Amino acid sequence: MILTIVVFIFVLGLLVIVHEVGHFISAKLSGVKVEEFAFGFPPRIWSKKIGETKFSINLIPLGGYVKMLGEDEVVKQPRSFSAQSVTKKAVILVSGVIMNLVLAWFLLTIGFAVGMSPLLSTPESLGAEIIRTKIIIAEVKKDSPADKSGIIQSDQIVYIIDQFGQKTVLNSNKDITSFTTSHKNQQVKIGIIRDEVQKEVIASLSADELQPLGIAAIDDSLVRMPWYKAPGAAVIETGKIFKLTYDFVGNFFKNIFTKGEVSKDVGGPVSIYVYTGMAVKLGVMAVIQFIAILSVNLALINILPFPALDGGKLLFLILRKVIGKHFIEERIENIIHLVGFAFLIVLMILITFKDVMKFF
């Protein structure tokens, strides 16, 4: 419990700080004055001014911000955000997203170099060395032989013993399919590992041509590769995570605006806390992968062309450049971003409520 809380705070802090550091560094390199660097949203708990920038920790740890001179209004000073070129403004706006993607890539690079299971890629596609493979139960059909024997989702299958006492060690999901389809209608013993404890269960295989045991399993392969190959594999994996997240987020907003529904698969802070606890139980590599996934999610969400988000601000910047400086008054734009922020807060409250109902 305590470890989960500590890791949860660390994960949120890392994601937010890395994102805001991107804005901070690009603003400084562009010569823009940064008035405040904050973790969380007010009310303020702690602050300290270092140089010209106030560094703050706020009570609500659901984000952060970098406040720049002239960000919300036109300030006629060389070091104001409003005085910068469109290119510099765009770089400052997207730098947080870039940093989150870099964080995901960096963590996955370490993982592949040390040894971890790919999230979406196959070991063959990455050209990685397979250290070991676990066969993990992904699904158990209700009232199937596996279900009746007590096998549950996330169990690891190690071996099967047929009715004559012949033991077959399983090395891949194909081995399960091969064995069970050739031993239909037989009673077998299955060696499984659950919570690091090995045990045997007895199952009577059915006559089903495709799934005599009634399970769906996946090969969880631990892979490792040389340090000079790991960065390239991490790029591929990060790209696949981004594509999957993009498809999911697109369907999420489509359902909101067409059906008025919030998908049950969407999670907020409560979900992140619960899944953090699960990742902690699985080990350091699982936590690293979880952070990488969240970092890609944060990057994609922030680049969406929605008011209050980095992507929304970038959209207004581009429209003002294309249409003209008087496309829309800064005051009106700020109101639009404020409304967008309020919408996001309400959405977050709704998602959090759904999380509480789901988990508790």
Say yes or no to pLDDT of 358 above 80.
no
Give residue 360's pLDDT: 65
CA dist 245 and 237 (Å) reads 12
Residues 77 and 83: beta-carbon distance below 8 Å: yes
Mean pLDDT over 16-25 rounds to 96
- pLDDT on residue 264: 67
Rounded to an integer, what distance in angstroms lies between the CA atom of residue 279 and that of residue 8? 10
Q: Is the pLDDT of residue 322 over 70?
A: yes
What's residue 166's pLDDT? 92
Question: In whole angstroms, how large is the CA radius of gyration of the chain?
Answer: 25
Distance CA 337, CA 306 (A): 8
Distance, in Å, from the CA atom of 126 to the CA atom of 240, rounded to the nearest integer, reads 12
Write the pLDDT tens digit of every residue in 136-164. 888 888 889 999 999 988 889 999 999 88
First to last CA, the chain: 15
Pairing of strands 129-140, 34-50: unpaired
**What pLDDT is recorded for position 84?**
93
Q: With contact defined as beta carbons under 8 Å apart, do 158 and 171 qualify? A: no
**The pLDDT of residue 125 is above 90:** no
Say which residue, 219 or 167, is predicted with more confidence.
167
Cα separation, 166 vs 309, in Å, equals 61
Instruction: For residue range 85-112, list pLDDT tens digits in order.
Output: 999 999 999 999 999 999 999 999 999 9
Position 95 scores a pLDDT of: 97
Higher pLDDT, 327 or 17: 17
Q: Are 65 and 20 in contact (CB under 8 A)?
A: yes
Token readout for 9 is 């705070």
pLDDT computed for residue 123 by the predictor: 85
Query: What is the predicted pLDDT for the residue at 263?
Result: 66
More confident residue, 272 or 105: 105
Are the CB atoms for 180 and 151 separated by under 8 Å?
Answer: no
- Given a contact cutoff of 8 angstroms between Cβ atoms, the answer to whether 38 and 56 are in contact is yes
What residue ranges of the chain are covered by domains with CATH 2.30.42.10?
129-223
CA–CA separation, 35 and 53 (whole Å): 5
* Interatomic CA distance for residues 20 and 100, integer angstroms: 9
Tokens of 260: 């008025």
pLDDT of 288 strictly over 90 = yes
C-alpha neighbours within 13 Å on the C-beta side of residue 260: 0
Q: What is the pLDDT of residues 51-74, one digit of tens each?
A: 999 999 998 877 889 999 988 888
Which residue carries 């279900």 as its tokens?
147
Q: Give buried/exposed letters for 91-111 (b at 16+ CB in 10 A, else e).
A: bbbbbbbebbbebbbbbbbbb
pLDDT tier at 282, thresholds 50, 70, 90: confident
How much is the pLDDT for 61?
79
pLDDT band, very low/low/confident/very high, at 38 (cuts 50, 70, 90): very high
Tokens of 172: 């891949």
Mean pLDDT score of the chain, rounded to an integer?
89
- Residue 151, both tokens: 């096998």
pLDDT on residue 262? 64
What pLDDT does 161 receive?
93
* Lookup: tokens for 147: 């279900």
Homologous superfamily (CATH) for 129-223:
PDZ domain (2.30.42.10)
So what's the pLDDT on residue 72?
81
Higher-scoring residue by pLDDT: 85, 331: 85
Average pLDDT over residues 15-31: 96
**Over the chain, what HEC string results?**
CHHHHHHHHHHHHHHHHHHHHHHHHHHHHCCCCEEEEEEEEEEEEEEEEECCEEEEEEEEEEEEEEEECCCCCCCCCCCCHHHCCHHHHHHHHHHHHHHHHHHHHHHHHHHHHHCECCCCCCHHHHCCEEEEEEEEEEEECCCCHHHHHCCCCCCEEEEEECCCCCEEECCCHHHHHHHHHHCCCCEEEEEEEECCEEEEEEEECCCCCCCCCCEEEEEEEEEECCCCCHHHHHHHHHHHHHHHHHHHHHHHHHHHHHHCCCCCCCCCHHHHHHHHHHHHHHCHHHHHHHHHHHHHHHHHHHHCCCCCCHHHHHHHHHHHHHHCCCCCCHHHHHHHHHHHHHHHHHHHHHHHHHHHHHHC
